[in-house]
Amino acid sequence: MTLWTAILVASIVCVALKAVGYLIPPSLFDAPRPARIIDLLTVALLAALVAVQTLGDAQAIMVDARVPAVLVAAGLLALRAPFLVVVVAAAAVAAGLRWFGWAI
């Protein structure tokens, strides 16, 4: 399978999944249990994306300055800090660790 074949197949599958989503009646999601599952699934997917982007480096796990930065961001979010403060603090932690040579 060539790269272009894989891209074409993935595109067709994505369009098919989107079309199937429009065919499902909305009343199916109005019940409390499916609505709760949909909400939790969204959070789980976002958490998985953050974990992969923070720890992933090709096929290996990479622990570098991003891990403490994400931990600082999570702590500030738990304290209900403004989002801009969270972003600046996380960036400062990562930059500081890299500046002093304590992390890659």
Tell me the DSSP string of 54-82: HHEETTEE--STHHHHHHHHHHHHHTT--
Burial classification of residue 69, based on how many CB atoms lie within 10 Å of its CB (0-12 exposed, 13-18 middle, 19 or more buried):
buried
**What pLDDT digit, counting tens, does each position of 15-67 carry?**
999 999 899 888 888 888 988 998 899 999 999 998 888 888 878 888 889 99
Residue 88 in tokens:
């600046």
**Banded model confidence at residue 14, pLDDT cuts 50, 70, 90:** very high
Query: Taking a C-beta distance cutoff of 8 angstroms, is the pair 85, 53 a contact?
Result: no
Q: How far apart are CA 74 and CA 89, in angstroms?
A: 11
pTM for this structure? 0.60
Q: Can you give the pLDDT at residue 61?
A: 84
Q: Can you give the pLDDT at residue 41?
A: 92
Half-sphere exposure of 22 (CA within 13 A, CB side): 5
Domain boundaries, the chain: 3-100
Which stretches does DSSP call E strand in the chain?
Answer: 56-57, 60-61
